[in-house]
Structures are given as C-alpha cells and as structure tokens.
Amino acid sequence: MKSIKGLLLFVLTAVIVLACQEKEKTQSTEFKVDFEKFTLDNGLQVILHVDDSDPVVAVALTAHVGSAREKEGRTGFAHLFEHLLFLESENLGKGGLDKMSARIGGSGANGSTSRDRTNYFQTVPKDALEKMIWAEADKLGFFINTVTEPVLAKEKQVVKNEKRQSTDNRPYGHSSYVTNTNLYPEGHPYSWEVIGSLEDLQNATLEDVKEFYRRWYVPNNVTLTIAGDIDVKQTKEWVKKYFDEIPRGEDIDEIEKQPVILKSSKRLFYEDNFARLPRLSMTWPGVPQYHKDSYALSVLTEYLSNGKKAPLNQILVDQEKLTDNVRFSQYNSEIAGQISLSVTAFNQIDLNVVADAINDGFKDFELNGISESDLNRIKAGQETDFYNSLSSVLGKGFQLAQYEIFAGDPGFINQDVKNILAVTPEDVMAVYNKYIKDKNYIATSFVPKGQVDLVLDNSTLANVVEEKIVQGAEETFDASIEATYEKTPSSFDRSIEPPFGENPELNIPEVWKEKLDSGINVYGIENTEVPLVQFEMQIEGGLLLENKNKIGVSNLLANLMTKGTKNKSTEELENAIQSLGASIYAYATDSNITISGTTLSKHFDATMDLVNEILLEPRWDENELELLKASTISTIKRQKGSPNSISANEYAKLLYGENNILSNSNNGTEESVASITMIDLKEFYNKNLTPQLASYHVVGAISKSEVLASLDQINNQWESKEVTIPELPLPLKPASSKIYFYDIPGAKQSVIRFGYPALKATEVDYYPATVMNYRLGGGGFASQLTQQLREGKGYTYGIRSRFSGSNYNGEFAISSGVRSNVTFESTSLVKDILENYGSGYNEEDLEVTKGYTIKSNARAFETLNAKLNMLTNISNYGLDDDYAKQREELVKNMTVNDVKALIEKYIKPNQMIYLLVGDAETQLDRLEALGFGKPILLNK
C-alpha cells in the first residue's frame, strides 16, 4: 500500500443493490448490476458504472499481477513496482500523479498489492476525469524510461521502511511469514510474503524492473474501471484516445490452481521481541476465491468465533477465561486459500491449554451444528454489509474489477449473491468436516521473550531473520537527479495536460434539527441513495468526568452497555441485533460516551428499540464486567509492547502533565482497572449520563418524523440532571525544546512524535492553521515532510503533521516511524524543515493548498459516514450548516502573508516536545547533537 495514512484495506465486496423484498422467514434479495464493459484492440478491459449521486468519479487501474507472479529471490518485487509506478512518467513528470492529485482535489493517488493483483486508484471531482484518464494511460504506457538507478535505490529504502513498520517493529509481525513458509511447499507462489524480504528487496535491479514492466504491465493484463458521475459516450472517447496506442503485450496464460495438501501437522514457535502476551495461531489449507465451498466456510468461521453463542467464544472466553477474543476467518486467493484461527491468550497462559479449549469448541459444534435461525442471523449481517459497501463509487469500481479479473465477468455478482444466500446448515457442517475436522494444520506459538515454557508441545523454533541495526548500512543516492531519456513516440502531444471540465457545484446536504424536551439535540440528514441508516448518540463526559484514582470507568461502562439489558442476556441482545442485520456499538473517548450503529432503514425502529434498552435499562452483569476487566488489562499489556501505542501514551503524559486528566489513556492502567467495581460504574452512570449533555446524529433513508418518533422513549424516560464538565488545567507550551526517549531494545524503527499543546477546535485560528499545515505535513505527498524524509532521503514510509482538537483540548503533532539508524538525521531534518517553513512559503505553496482544499470539497459528503461526520462537526463545535462553503471562501481569500503569520504564531521548533521510541543503546546519545540538551530517558 502506497498511502502514508492509516488507510484501511478496502473490502472488495461492493454490490449494486436495486431492490429487495421480504418473504416469510428469510429475505430474498434481487440484485442487478449496472455497468458497461468493452475491450480495446490492445486487450485493455474497460468497465464503466454510472452513479450521479455526487459530483465525483473513481478511477482504478488493476493489473493482474501480484507476488504470485514473482521469481524466488526477488520476493516483494510486485509491491516495490507498485511504489515505482507513482513516482514519474514521461508526460506527468517528476512527482507524477501525486502533484496532480493536490491540484485537482483528489483523494490522493494510492495503490495496493496482493498475492494476485496490483491496483492504482483515486477518487476525484468529476471535472478532473479526463486528467485522470490521461495520467493513468501515461503510467501504463509511458513510464519505464523514467526509472533510474537513484530512483530505484530510494524507493527500495521506502519499501524496506514499510516492511519494518508493518512487520519487523510490531508484535506478532512475523506470524504470517512463519505460517505461509510452512503451509505452502517451497516454490509455491504463496510461500513468500507480499512485502518480501529485506535482502530480496535490496537485490532488485533496474533490469528486473524493466523485465517486470514488459511482461505484466501491458494492456491485455490490465482492467480499467471508472465509476461515478460520468458521461459514458465522452468517457469512452477519452479512454480510446489515451489508451488505444499503447501496444499489446505477449499473451498471458491463466495461472493454474495450486491447492495445498499437508501431509502432517507442523508446530513452530518464536520468541517475539514486541509481544507481551502469548498467541496461538492455527491455519488449515482452504479454497480459492469464489470456490463453491467458500460461502459455507465464511459462515462457519463467523459462527464458531463471533459472539456469545459462538462455541469457541463460549469455551475460551466465557468458561475458561483464557482470552478476550477469538479470531477465525478464511483468506481466499486466486490459486489457493487458507483458514486461520488466532487466539491471543491472557498473561502467562499455557498455549497447550488454549489448544485443548479450541478442540472442545470444535466438539461442541460437531455435536450441535448450526441452527437455521443462526444461519439467517449471519446472512442478515451479510446483507447489511453489502449495502454498506455501496457508499463510495470507489468501492463499486473495485468490485467490478474484482469480478472481471477473478470470476471472468463483472456480472458474476448476481451468482455470487445467490451462492451466499443458498448456504444451508448442512453445507456448514460439510465444510467443517472437509477442511477442519481431523485435518492437518500449521500451529504457531508466538510468546514474549523468556516465556518458551508457554509454547505448544513438540514445537520447533521458527526460522525468522532479524535485521541488525548498523549505522550507515544503506547505500546512498541522490533522488533529485533528473532522468534523461528519449520519449516514447505518440500520435499526439501527450505532454499537454487536459483541461478541467465544468466545475462541479458543492452539494451541501440539507440538515434538519430538533431539540427535545429532555435536552437532547437531534441533527439529521435524509438520504435515500441506499436503504441504510447510520446513527450515533453522543453523551459528553467520558474521561473528563472520571476520578483520577479510577481511570477506565467510562471505557468499561461503555463496553458493558452492549453486554445485555435488563430483559435480555448478552447472547439474547446480540441475537436481536444481528437478526436485524444491524450493528450497535458503544465506546468511550476522552470527552464522551457514544452509542452508534448501522441498520437497514426497514429495521430502524426495531434497532432503536434496542438502543433504548441499552441506554435506559443496563443489565449490570457482574460476570460480563469481570470479562471486560480482563480484556482491558490484556489490551493495556499488549500496548506495552507496541512502539506506536507507547509513543501515544507517553506523548499524552508529556503534553498535559500529571495534573490534567487527559494525560491518561482512557483504558486506565492495569492497577486502576483491577480496582474498578460495579458500584463505580453505576455511580458514573447515575451521576454523569444525562440528556442535557447528549446529541443524536442520524443520516440515511429515514425521515425526520420517523427519527423523532423513535426517540420518544428516551426523551420521556431518561432522567435529566445537571452535570458540569470540569475545567481542565491549561497545558503550558514548553519554554524550550527537550528530547525524551523511551527505550525498546532492538527496535527496527524509531517512532517519533514531536509537538506541543495547541488550538482547540472551537478557536478562530483552528481551521486556518490546518490549511497552513497542508504544505508542511498535512498534504501527504504534497507536503514538505513527506517530500524530504520519504521521497528525498528514504528515511521513512510515511510522516505527517496535524492540528487536532476538541472543545476541551488541542495539540500539534508530527508523527512517523523512521529507520533506526537515521533517528538523529530524521529528527534534525524535521527541525530544519520547521525552522525554514515560514521563510520559504510562497505563492506556489498557497496555490497548491487552495487548489486541493477548494476542489476536494466535491468529495466532502459522498458517503453516509462523511455526512454523519458533518453533523458531528455542526453539533460539537457550533458550526453553521454551510460551514464547508464558509471555509471555502476563507481559503479563497487567504494570502501568503496570512499563512506566514500563522506559521510564525504556531510553528515553534524550539518550543516543542521531541519524543522518540526506539533502541537507546544505538540512538540515544546521538540525539544530544540537536542542541536541546541531553536526552531524557523515560524508562530504565
């Protein structure tokens, strides 16, 4: 994945649902796919889908090549190539699509690589569609000449940093590698990881890049999907103009299925430098994507592990109290698949005991199977998931490509859904017997250092290669060198970027509001694009109202609220929610407790009836509280081994100081959570939860009158009381910068977090400051921090700066994970960038910032979730309904001097907290050269 943001992996299960009707016991849903497909003479498959609900278009280029097409000794190459394709092409120039994305207001050019395909995608305002088609064609047909040795050297470092971040520097990061190298035989295309090995990445040559491009990046191995507010005729003309003359490549044969048969089970173990709790994983050979048995397997894994009624949950979580969570799922790919069960046990739990409990859960299922009602409950959830995936045009485009490449027809969606709905209880038991019962598997025991006594009996040590921290180990390069090459001939001048189309209007959803007699403020947006409703009840307070000696009460209370009601056990409540195809969650933050959910609009009233019970009639189940306390303590313990979690928690302490409640994680500490009783939760509930501090936000296919009617019970029965949020001590900005270091011996990266207490979200400069920050570190690849630390030096996979705030607090922070042996160099470079940001800021910076900020508004309210976020902003911060247009005007009128004044006021590199989490033995002393005094070691 190219993105430097915490971008979630997209679920490739989007469908186009046009009608549904309810029958007696089960729901039968008619699905129709609206798309047009055509093929260019060079073999490029093109799929178009029209969705004019928002003035946006998603463009995705998917190449049918992933790590499975690599050669041994060049693992990770498909993913490395994905990175390279973004950097430059002959007519886009250096910076490629990233520079253009900022100008056109795109979501950010991004990509991902799997075992079987690589995709490149972005959502843009509709007026930039021709630009995107031009750019994607340039990448596909006019790219390879721009790749030079320095470019390759730099991107190797970026990808190696990604591997360190995603694998080497986190708990259980090597688990997948150990499993796959033992599940698949040597030479099998899935026996190596998509990310590859550090050694193989380093050994990749320029000729490897060119060979890979010539073989796989040809039109006859690529699918282009365009979904959104498009004119089909015009779009076809643009596609033909820009893609037609790219030559066809050699014919590519279909890759054959290569199922795995294990002759015996294997048990392996590994002492994990970052793990704080033992984890047992068991993996069985499964089936390829869209195999007839995959549908029943998805039901099986969910039924066995998810919820109170799940056999594995009942035994491992409720009865034996060995863990707080059982994860069971299948991972289906093009030529093979696998079924994986993972249990992270509580502290010092013997994994042999866990394995025995798993077998007991399986025996329970063998005896009882799955009922028709439980099967229908799971299917109801799948139906809602389908609708949920419709909220973005990008998801629709992904799915069309997915079916085209792996099922041979985008219209396979009709059969896919029929297969899901056709699963029977007998099918579920049949796949259990065929793939799980008494079948060989791979078992891995990952345990903390020094706890080998917890591993599964008869396990052998796994072969994992750990990178050593060596100063100056990486090759040097100059990424600024311009490539010189002879341009690829074309029938027209491709160096001319196409013009914008007609400027799309910003469509601001209509907001309705109501204040109920109890004090609840209600905000809604009616949207009938899909028959879904999303909602949240937000109650101010959370951590802000806690006793410093009992930190964690609001978090436990929120979690307990969905563990049954006065008249429903935990299992009964879960079944009631899931039978509606709904989801209801409760969680606590620093400043509130929120109950949120998603449901089909036809089940909104029934879902809200359950919300009423959850809020007004808690069950106060002592057994559930004890389970939640154990789970929370387990979470806290796991965080102690995660460099990112350590960084967040230590930064809060440094930022707010010991007298401010916000210096604490709302999870609490192991000691505070252990001391909390049901009396504490009841006291917090009775004293602090009041409708006077509540707001309800709802978006979707539901009317104002229906929403207000659903809130009658809460409005009439929820006791109103006066609750005052205490005033927080004002955190003071550091008088001078200091360096703090938290030691994790052997860390492969240093996690950095630099900043200071800053603006609240309600302060007048808050939004202008976020605009000012765009070119510093808020604009992804358009920002100086990314351009210099990632693109210029290869120090990091990603870096960002941001202002974040609420009604009660605010902060400015720069965060990243950098290669351990450039910890000082990275910190010094960040300091230099901050010091020079104001003096170097110019008209070009402002133009790029304005271009992105204004044009990206076309995408601002595309999804239900985006609309819900709009209501949250209006509700929490007192913004006007048209705040997006007001901000647009503010940005239009900003000058370079306005931005420079904001930089002078809010960017203070010599008055900041510099926190680093990494290997003190090799990196601590070097940081003294920054000139901020001797670094302060936070842990001994």
pLDDT at position 346:
97
Element (H, E) at 57: strand 56-63
Half-sphere exposure of 353 (CA within 13 A, CB side): 18
680 phi/psi in degrees, rounded to 5: -65, -40
List Cβ neighbours of 380 (8 Å cut-off, separation of 6 or more).
27, 578, 579, 580, 581
Q: Are 633 and 276 in contact (CB under 8 A)?
A: no
Gap between the Cα atoms of 32 and 15, Å rounded: 9
List Cβ neighbours of 812 (8 Å cut-off, separation of 6 or more).
755, 756, 758, 759, 801, 802, 803, 906
Gap between the Cα atoms of 906 and 769, Å rounded: 8
Query: Between the CA of residue 307 and those of 570, 785, 919, what are the distances in Å?
Result: 9, 44, 40
pLDDT at position 862:
85
186's tokens: 């040597």
Q: Are 623 and 630 in contact (CB under 8 A)?
A: no
85's tokens: 């394709």
Gap between the Cα atoms of 328 and 344, Å rounded: 12
pLDDT at position 1:
56
Sign of the torsion angle spanned by Cα atoms 371, 372, 377, 380: positive
**pTM more than 0.75:** yes
Closest CA to 392 of 557, 529, 291, 272: 529
DSSP bridge partners of 740: 915, 936
Q: Are 741 and 918 in contact (CB under 8 A)?
A: yes
- Where helices occur in 856-929 by DSSP H, the ranges are 864-877, 883-892, 896-906, 920-923
Gap between the Cα atoms of 359 and 320, Å rounded: 13
pLDDT at position 27:
39
DSSP bridge partners of 565: 568, 618
DSSP 3-state helix, strand, coil percentages of the chain (rounded to 5)? 45, 20, 35
Residue 121: helix, strand or coil by DSSP?
Answer: strand
Q: Which residues of 798-830 are buried (b: 16+ CB within 10 A; e: fewer)?
A: bbbbbbebbebbbbbbbbbbbbbbbbbebbbbb
List Cβ neighbours of 847 (8 Å cut-off, separation of 6 or more).
none
pLDDT at position 28:
40
Q: Are 62 and 400 in contact (CB under 8 A)?
A: no
Residue with tokens 């004890």: 626
> DSSP states of 718-749 as a string?
SPP----PPPPP-PPPPSS-EEEEEE-TT-SE
Q: Are 134 and 224 in contact (CB under 8 A)?
A: no
Q: Are 202 and 156 in contact (CB under 8 A)?
A: yes
One-letter amino acid identity for 637?
A: K
Residue 218: helix, strand or coil by DSSP?
Answer: coil
Element (H, E) at 28: strand 27-31
Residue 115: helix, strand or coil by DSSP?
Answer: coil
The two beta strands, 17-22 and 27-31, are antiparallel
Gap between the Cα atoms of 803 and 760, Å rounded: 9
Instruction: State which residues of the chain have pLDDT below 70.
Output: 1-33, 387-391
Residue 530: helix, strand or coil by DSSP?
Answer: coil
Gap between the Cα atoms of 31 and 548, Å rounded: 54
User: How many of the other CB atoms lie within 10 Å of CB of 475?
Assistant: 12
Gap between the Cα atoms of 204 and 76, Å rounded: 9
Element (H, E) at 460: strand 460-461
Q: Are 334 and 68 in contact (CB under 8 A)?
A: yes
Beta strands (DSSP E) in 477-566 are: 512-515, 521-526, 532-540
pLDDT at position 30:
54
Q: Is 468 exposed, middle or buried (0-12, 13-18, 19+ CB in 10 A)?
A: exposed
DSSP bridge partners of 817: 751
627 phi/psi in degrees, rounded to 5: -65, -40
Sign of the torsion angle spanned by Cα atoms 127, 129, 130, 132: positive
892 phi/psi in degrees, rounded to 5: -55, -35
787's tokens: 């351009």
545-551 CB contacts, 8 Å cutoff, 24+ apart: 545/684, 545/688, 545/723, 545/725, 545/726, 546/661, 546/666, 546/684, 548/661, 548/664, 549/672, 549/675, 550/668, 550/672, 550/675, 550/676, 550/680, 551/661, 551/664, 551/665, 551/666, 551/668, 551/669, 551/672
58 phi/psi in degrees, rounded to 5: -105, 130
3-state secondary structure 180-215: HHHHCCCCCCCCCCCCCCHHHHHHCCHHHHHHHHHH
Rg (CA), the chain: 28
Gap between the Cα atoms of 55 and 858, Å rounded: 6
